[in-house]
């Protein structure tokens, strides 16, 4: 997509993994481009993160953008490939993290820009 882009305020999330797995979906509601998604954890964890395109066209069009297993890690940064970075109005990003071993809190931010034409 071409055009002017404007920084969107960070979309933040947080989950105590001892209370349950993380399952968060953005609500951006307009055309956007992901710059990166930052994950920070209060203690080293071994869990799987899944980042999915939640398509405006329905679940048949949802696509996993990245699955990453953190092994003894406290942070992770997802930077999408250029082809995976642009989203249409109504698309959202679903962020999940398992809690099989988690006793820490995972938090983070989606850094994105609104695409204007």
Q: Which pLDDT tens digit goes with each residue over 103-116? A: 899 999 999 988 87
Q: Which class is 4-116 in CATH? A: mainly beta
pLDDT, tens digit, 9 for 90 and up, residues 23-77: 999 999 899 999 999 999 999 999 999 999 999 999 999 999 999 999 999 999 9
Structure tokens at 74: 């406290």
**The predicted structure's pLDDT at residue 117:** 61
Q: How confident is the model at residue 8 (pLDDT cuts 50, 70, 90)?
A: confident
* Dist. CA 115–CA 3, nearest whole Å: 7
């Amino acid at each position: 997509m071409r055009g002017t882009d404007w920084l969107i305020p960070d979309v933040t999330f947080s989950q105590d993994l001892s209370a349950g797995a993380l399952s968060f979906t953005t609500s951006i509601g307009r055309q956007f481009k992901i710059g990166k998604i930052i994950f920070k954890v209060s203690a080293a964890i071994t869990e799987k993160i899944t980042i999915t395109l939640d398509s405006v066209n329905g679940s048949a069009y949802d696509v996993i953008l990245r699955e990453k297993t953190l092994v003894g890690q406290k942070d992770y940064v997802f930077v999408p490939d250029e082809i995976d970075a642009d989203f249409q109005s109504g698309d959202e990003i679903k962020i999940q993290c398992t809690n099989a071993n988690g006793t820490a809190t995972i938090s983070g931010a989606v850094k994105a820009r609104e695409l204007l034409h």
